[in-house]
Structure 1
Amino acid sequence: MTESDVRKFTASDGYNLRYRFHPPCEAPPRGYVVAVHGIQSHAGWYEYSCRRLADAGYEVSFLDRRGSGLNDRDRGHASHADRLVNDVVQFLGDVRFRRNREAPTAPVILSGVSWGGKLAAVTCARRPELVDALALLTPGICARVRPSWHQRWRLQLADMLGVQRKLVSIPLGDPTMFTDEPEWQQFIRDDRLSLRQATVSLLQASVELDDEVAMVQQRIDCPALLMLAGKDRIIDNDKSRQWFERLQSSQKQTIEYPDARHTLEFEPDRQQIFDDLIHWCNRIEAR
């Protein structure tokens, strides 16, 4: 398997974003995958799937969201949803520029895992010219765990009162919500890079993404994949399917793994799961 290395990307506001780069096993690459992670996780959770994609010929760049993972500055913070979207847009623009020189017929695929699914979907809807295909893995678009009306009101009030950087616990403290596998449950407990708290501002940005992603279906017309875990306690699968079926895309595929928990990366049969992802990627063409 190919090995990753940590690289740095400077966003338009000067923030240095770390990401894990997995070089493809062949040149030029078969395609370019840009991935974004969940609210608590980081790129380091997804080494297996990234290596599988790299071994299949794809260049993979898995971004750590600002304030998460290897990005220590302003831990757990983002100023607003536009800032998060702009980070991904800028990175995609750089990847696409390089793709045009290296392998003009290779697709650029945007992948969103868990909470990152709504960030990926909104990014794709806003800047469709940057994305040839969209892969959503147990996406947090229709989540079971989300702020109530009262909690949303409190976030808005805190934002208005100027306490945007107040830290709030993320309500995902139980590792069994992610996986049934004891080894991976312990990994989550011990992981110092996992995000346990987020600022009011980041949580408000998450609500902004929730509101926008509910209305973007008619603006997403690229090939799209939805991968669901049948025993997911974080995501509402029925509502996710309904959202996905309303996409404008004429090439949509849904795959559900009936016995899987939320984090497909931690499943005992993950080889088959990521065989399926690679098979789908292999059918994508640049637009």
Structure 2
Amino acid sequence: MGAVIRHVLLLLLSVLASGCVASIPPSGPADLSESWGKELPLPKEMAAALAKGEVAFLPGPGEAAIPVRIFGAAGTLSPVLMTHGLQSHSGWFVQSAALLAARGHPVYAFDRSGSGLSRAPRGDSKDFMAWAREIDAVAQEAMKRHGTGQVYLLGHCFGAIPAAVYASGHPDRIRALILTSPAIYTHTTLAWRQTVRILLWPAGSMDFAVPSPLETEWFSELDDYKRFIAADPLALREATGDFYWQIFRARRYLSANTEKLTMPVFVALAGADPISDSEKNSAWFESLPAARKALIRYENARHILEFSPDRDRFFADLDHWLASVEEP
């Protein structure tokens, strides 16, 4: 009887949700590795930073190669790996990448599987640990190229989740963990119909598309950046039900493994963030066992710090903190 009731519920939910979900396309966008940004209304600071990097495709743990924007390949300081948010991709963070490269850090900002320039199924994930394996693949390549056994790992927004998951499993490989506007805890949620459907559907078969709950104006208060975000063809505006289920699983895993984050940690919060819950993230930061950690709040920022009036202050603070960690 229970199986019959569950089947009926699934059918009803499918009908209710049919007007707002569809199937995710099986492959990513057309190859824009060379042309991305040229036709977009990029703020001038972004355009200048974008020109300083180059795109490479590194072997990944799956069938699809990992698109990586590399800045400062000849740098002599410890490499920095960068993971992006749910809707964004590596191209959104070229300013911070160029800044760190100018300070001597080789930077590897890569697109998560199914995002940005990735040719994997768009917006899909069947195993949150695959995000950590992608980080490891890029980390191993960066460490090999630069003759080191450690990297800095910088996670933006949603990217803070796979970054922290990876760091908890490989603390010896992380020189320091940097999280900006982390989505460990958020204000945003899916619509109740979508949430119930995900909870009832069999894991691994939720290929239906769920629209992102994020609004363009939530990312930045600056008009130039809002125009760019709205026009970006690589922005991920929907993901599969499986993807959102994996977010839940990753957060649950992280909650059980937070005590392993013993490396230096820097957290930067946006004071007016409608996406990430800065108060809960502050409490999570306080619970970290790291002996060396710092948290800075930028009251004038809405979400993405390098898209905010506090950009230069954030860059100065990040540069200063990294320099202090880099010292012998």
Q: What is the deviation of 1:158? A: 2.1
CA contact (8 A) 1:152 1:207 kept: no
Cα pair distance change 1:209/1:148, threshold 3 Å? farther
Q: Tell me, in whole angstroms, the C-alpha distance in 1 between the residues paired with 2:145 and 2:223.
A: 41
Task: Give the partner amino acid of 2:207.
Answer: R
Is 1:17–2:59 an aligned residue pair?
A: no
For 2:78, the equivalent position in structure 1 comes to 31
Q: Which runs of 5+ in 2 are unaligned?
A: 1-48
User: Counterparts of 1:47-86 in structure 2 under 5 Å?
Assistant: 47-86=94-133
Q: Tell me, in whole angstroms, the C-alpha distance in 2 between the residues paired with 1:8 and 1:60.
A: 14
Q: Which of 183, 205, 209 in structure 2 is aligned with 1:163? A: 205
Superposed CA deviations along residues 107-161 of structure 1, whole A, max 9, x for unmatched, are 510000000011111110011122110000000001111358875553132234x
Is 1:108–2:187 an aligned residue pair?
A: no
Task: Give the partner amino acid of 1:23.
Answer: G
CA contact (8 A) 1:88 1:123 kept: yes
Helix, strand or coil at the partner of 2:119: coil
Q: What is the deviation of 1:90? A: 2.2
Q: Tell me, in whole angstroms, the C-alpha distance in 2 between the residues paired with 1:117 and 1:188.
A: 20
Q: Tell me, in whole angstroms, the C-alpha distance in 1 between the residues paired with 2:157 and 2:75.
A: 30
CA contact (8 A) 1:118 1:140 kept: yes
Q: Tell me, in whole angstroms, the C-alpha distance in 2 between the residues paired with 1:158 and 1:44.
A: 34
User: Counterparts of 1:226-245 in structure 2 under 5 Å?
Assistant: 226-245=267-286
Higher alpha-carbon deviation: 49-58 or 90-99: 90-99
For 2:236, the equivalent position in structure 1 comes to 195
Helix, strand or coil at the partner of 1:195: coil
TM-score by length of 2: 0.80
Q: Tell me, in whole angstroms, the C-alpha distance in 2 between the residues paired with 1:225 and 1:153.
A: 36
User: Counterparts of 1:115-126 in structure 2 under 5 Å?
Assistant: 115-126=158-169
For 2:24, the equivalent position in structure 1 comes to none
Q: Tell me, in whole angstroms, the C-alpha distance in 1 between the residues paired with 2:119 and 2:209.
A: 15
Could you tell me the percent identity over the aligned residues? 30
For 2:288, the equivalent position in structure 1 comes to 247
TM-score by length of 1: 0.91
Larger Rg: 2
Equivalent pairs, count: 279
CA contact (8 A) 1:96 1:130 kept: no
CA contact (8 A) 2:80 2:108 kept: yes
Is 1:132–2:179 an aligned residue pair?
A: no
Q: Tell me, in whole angstroms, the C-alpha distance in 2 between the residues paired with 1:19 and 1:280.
A: 25
Cα pair distance change 1:199/1:286, threshold 3 Å? farther
Higher alpha-carbon deviation: 90-99 or 239-248: 90-99
